[in-house]
Amino acid sequence: MHSKNKTRYVILGLLSEGPLSGYEVKKLVTIRFSGFWSESYGQIYPELKKLEAGGLVTKTSTGNTRTRYVYSITGEGFAALRSWLQEPVEKELVRLEILLKLYFGSLIKPENLQGHIQNFRNEHLQYLNLLGRFETELRSITDEHENHPFVLMTILFGQKVNQAYLEWSDQVLELLKKRQR
């Protein structure tokens, strides 16, 4: 049985590109992994401690007056990260409340349900726009980093999926409109 907790690998992965503080890890996850991952301070700080205790990262104090600790990945850390990356991806469980509410949709007013779908559509349209900006930004960087093409592939994923969400929303809104007549 291997752990479900991926926080350690998220941290190690980000540190593989350079040293970071816990605060920076959190920020990077929020921005760069928006849409497919999230981490909270309550996960990150304790995990950094465990990683240091296990020798997978080292801690350096760079604070002058303000407390600040920067973590660097070690050889063992790199090995652990690579080993995890090589393992097959575990079956992910997705939970979509919108589909639950739709499934029981006959119990509420059609306008109410349409509102839910409309909100869903709006949110994902906005996210699609954000992804477009990410893509433009990334493509404008001529000095390509090693992971550049891989980052683009994750962006492409978001674009494909969110496009599918929009198409589905439109189709469902159409079906709901027809039902009202």
Partner DNA sequence: GAAGTCATGTAATTGGTTACATGATTGA
Partner DNA sequence: TCAATCATGTAACCAATTACATGACTTC
- Summarize as ranges the residues that interact with DNA (CB under 7 A): 1, 3-7, 21-24, 27, 38-43, 45-46, 48-49, 64-70, 93, 95
Contacts 24+ apart (CB under 8 A), 150-153: 151/32
Least distance in Å: CB of 68 to a copy of itself? 25
CA distance 55 to 103: 49
Given the structure tokens 């469980």, which residue do they identify? 93
Number of residues that bind a copy of itself (CB under 8 A): 62
Residue 127 interacts with a copy of itself (CB under 8 A): yes or no: no
Tokens matching residue 112: 């109410």
Within 10 angstroms of residue 104's Cβ, the number of other Cβ atoms is 9
Least distance in Å: CB of 178 to a copy of itself? 10
CA distance 43 to 11: 10
Residue 41 interacts with a copy of itself (CB under 8 A): yes or no: no
CA distance 52 to 131: 34
What residues line the site for a copy of itself (CB under 8 A)? 6, 9-10, 13, 16, 32-33, 35-38, 81-82, 85-86, 88-108, 112, 115-116, 119-120, 123, 146-147, 149-151, 153-154, 156-157, 160-161, 163-165, 167-168, 171-172, 175, 179
